Amino acid sequence: MAILRGQSPEETVRLASAAWDAGLELVEIPLQNAQSADALAAGAAEAARRGRFVGAGTITSTVLVEQAAALGARFTVAPGFDPEVAARSLDLGMPHLPGVATGSEVQAALTRGCIWLKAFPAEALGASWISAMRGPFPEARFVATGGINARNARQFLSAGAGAVSFGAAFAELTDDDLIHLT
């Protein structure tokens, strides 16, 4: 997954297209201000045109969940777990990817219907955290997020992460990096 933060609507569409063309399935566009709302709307329109998916990131309230849905997001992502945010997103038919960093957060998110979980901040947690959490929570699917780059992504995937997210490191990926990750 590519995270496209702080881009203009035009640059968001260009980068999202590059991500999809490179084989990344999902794009997250953080929803933090008016420009990011415009970028999310533009990215969601392009995703719909191409049969792809765009989600809204940094969703920390039910108000933002509703705004994300209105702008065309197909899923939501949060830096932490809030049961009300998760419930509202799921009620609107959008899968929710909450940030988790403890066993208690993993268990709470799973109990609320979230199967895909954002291991955040992944670089600080380490790849071994993914392996450790997969033991008691085999049904959980982790997306390693935060500090992921071409050098460490394979470690997280090998440890059991179902996916990785590239933020600022997305622009640095080469075609060869992408081939080795798939």
Q: Which active-site residues does the annotation give?
A: 28, 118
Q: What angle do CA 33, 34, 35 make, to 5 degrees?
A: 95
Burial class (CB in 10 A: 0-12, 13-18, 19+), 135: exposed
d(CA 171, CA 151): 14
Q: What angle do CA 61, 63, 68 make, to 5 degrees?
A: 95
d(CA 173, CA 75): 24
SS3 content of the chain, % helix, strand, coil (to 5): 50, 15, 35
Q: Are 73 and 44 in contact (CB under 8 A)?
A: yes
Q: Are 56 and 64 in contact (CB under 8 A)?
A: yes
Residue 140 CB contacts under 8 Å (≥ 6 apart), including other chains: 106, 110, 115, 117, 133, 134
